[in-house]
Structures are given as structure tokens and as C-alpha cells.
């Protein structure tokens, strides 16, 4: 249901959309399990909840804990993750061609994530992109987070592009809600950290303008932007 308004800026969610961070999260969570004599979890089980955040992953591993005990485990988990944050994290295979296309076309791009700033900054420090993101908005940059539209509106402002000319891509329903709330075009990254979807699903899970099954589809879309 894409509209005819031209796309002049691309905004990405981070985990599960721009970067595959799942292996480092899985290592950190299972190391936390080992540190507290808890059975480790399967990688695929962890992957499905990465985009739900650190608390959800901690609850997955320690379902009987709550309150201060749960928060202590969460902090331990995030500290382990911080120390191992870029051991295996990479740009999703097939997406770097798209980032190169943005650089070649001088199309600005940015990142809007609910990941805390101390983790976002550490992660991005050692990654090389074909062009630099003009805006990086973390979960604690403002007092509100997605699905509130404010972080996306700030990113659009920092990229000097009107919200209606931005496309926001994410792998969680909050991403689509935030983009829609901001008056942006939206796209679902169906290769991200989603719960299991039925085989040959004909109905897409969220009300987005575009649905990308693979990172390479995004790259092809970016390469054709100037012709849209």
C-alpha cells in the first residue's frame, strides 16, 4: 500500500533489521545462565525474543524471578553482553549492497533503536558502514521510546528530511506503529527476530507499506529509489 510520496531518507531499527546481533545476545544470555546454574537455552529460542529487549530475554531464561532478583540478572546479562557485544555481530548479509546504494545516491540514513545508548555506542564504534548515519537515536536519547513517534521525528529532523519522506524499517510491531505514528512510510523486516510465522503466509503481520522477506530485497529496493 505504498504511497507516491518520494522516499528521501531511510531509518533503520538496529537489532534484527540493520544488524544481526542475535549470536552475541545468545552467548551473553547463556553465559548468564551458566553463571547462575541455569540450563542454557537454544539459539533459536533466544533469537525470537531479541527484539523484545533485555528484560524479555532475561525473563525467558529466568521465568521464576521477578522484582530486584530479576533486575539483578538483567544487569548481569547486559554486562556480559557489553563485554562481548561485537564478537559475531554483522550487517545482515545482503544488506551492505543496499547501504552502498544509499551512499552512491547521497540518500541520508539513520538508526532509531530502543537499545540503551551505552550499548548502542559501543556496538556502532567498531562497525564500518559505506556512509555514516546522520542520526543515531537510542532508547534513552529522549524520555520516550518507540512506539512513541518522537524518536523517529527527531531522527528525521537530524537527517534534514520531512517525516513523510522517510521510510522506517523494523522487525517488531512497535517499529511499524512508531513509523505510522510519525507519518512515515514503514517496512517490515520479516527476516528479523520475529516469532514463527506460518508457512507461505499470505497476509503480512503488520500494517506496513512494504514487507521485505530478505535483506537482499531491501538492497534491490534501495538501488531503485531514484527511479521511484
Percentage of the chain modeled with pLDDT above 70: 93
pLDDT greater than 70 at residue 228: no
At 107, give phi and psi (nearest 5°).
-95, 120
Q: 12: pLDDT confidence band, cut at 50, 70 and 90?
A: very high
pLDDT of residue 126: 86
Specify the pLDDT at position 75. Answer: 97
pLDDT at 5: 85
pLDDT digits (tens, 9 = 90+) for 63-73: 999 999 999 99
pLDDT, averaged across the chain:
93
Q: Cα–Cα distance between 113 and 93 in angstroms, integer?
A: 20
pLDDT grade for 4, boundaries at 50, 70 and 90: confident
Question: Could you tell me where the beta strands, DSSP code E, fall in the chain?
Answer: 9-12, 19-20, 90-91, 109-112, 135-137, 166-170, 185-189, 210-212
CB 30 within 8 A of CB 37: no
Residue range 91-107, pLDDT digits in tens? 999 999 999 999 999 99
- 194 pLDDT band (50/70/90 cuts)? confident
State yes or no: cis peptide before 147, omega within 30 of 0: yes
The reported pLDDT for the residue numbered 44 is 95
Phi, psi of 173 (to 5 degrees): -60, -30
13 is catalytic: yes
How confident is residue 144, by pLDDT bands cut at 50, 70 and 90? very high
The DSSP bridge partners found for residue 20 are: 90
Output 169 or 194, whichever has higher pLDDT: 169
pLDDT at 1: 44
Cα→Cα distances 141→50, 135, 145, Å: 20, 11, 9
- Tens digit of pLDDT for each residue in 19-63? 999 999 999 999 999 999 999 999 999 999 998 999 999 999 999
pLDDT value at 182 more than 50: yes
Q: What is the pLDDT of residue 227?
A: 61
| CA atoms of 75 and 70, how far apart (whole Å) | 9
pLDDT band at 177 (very low <50, low <70, confident <90, very high): very high
Amino acid at each position: 500500500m505504498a504511497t507516491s510520496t518520494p522516499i528521501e531518507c531511510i531509518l533503520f531499527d538496529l537489532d534484527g533489521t540493520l544488524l544481526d546481533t542475535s549470536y552475541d545476545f545468545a552467548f551473553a544470555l547463556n553465559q548468564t545462565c551458566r553463571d547462575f546454574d541455569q540450563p542454557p537455552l537454544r539459539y533459536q529460542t533466544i533469537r525470537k525474543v531479541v527484539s523484545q529487549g533485555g528484560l524479555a530475554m532475561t525473563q525467558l531464561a529466568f521465568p521464576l524471578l521477578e522484582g530486584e532478583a530479576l533486575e539483578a540478572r538483567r544487569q548481569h546479562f547486559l554486562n556480559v553482553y557489553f563485554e562481548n557485544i561485537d564478537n559475531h555481530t554483522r550487517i545482515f548479509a545482503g544488506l551492505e549492497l543496499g547501504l552502498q546504494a544509499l551512499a552512491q545516491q547521497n540518500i541520508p540514513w539513520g538508526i532509531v533503536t530502543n537499545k540503551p545508548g551505552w550499548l548502542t555506542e559501543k556496538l556502532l564504534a567498531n562497525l564500518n558502514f559505506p556512509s555514516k548515519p546522520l542520526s543515531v537515536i537510542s532508547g534513552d536519547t529522549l524520555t520516550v521510546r518507540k512506539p512513541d513517534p518522537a524518536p523517529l521525528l527527531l531522527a528525521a529532523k537530524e537527517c534534514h528530511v520531512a517525516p513523510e519522506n522517510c521510510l522506517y524499517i523494523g522487525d517488531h510491531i512497535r517499529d511499524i506503529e512508531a513509523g505510522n505514528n510519525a507519518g512515515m512510510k514503514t517496512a517490515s523486516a520479516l527476516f528479523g527476530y520475529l516469532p514463527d510465522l506460518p508457512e507461505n503466509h499470505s497476509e503480512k503481520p503488520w500494517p506496513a507499506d512494504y514487507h521485505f522477506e530478505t535483506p537482499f530485497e531491501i538492497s534491490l529496493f534501495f538501488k531503485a529509489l531514484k527511479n521511484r
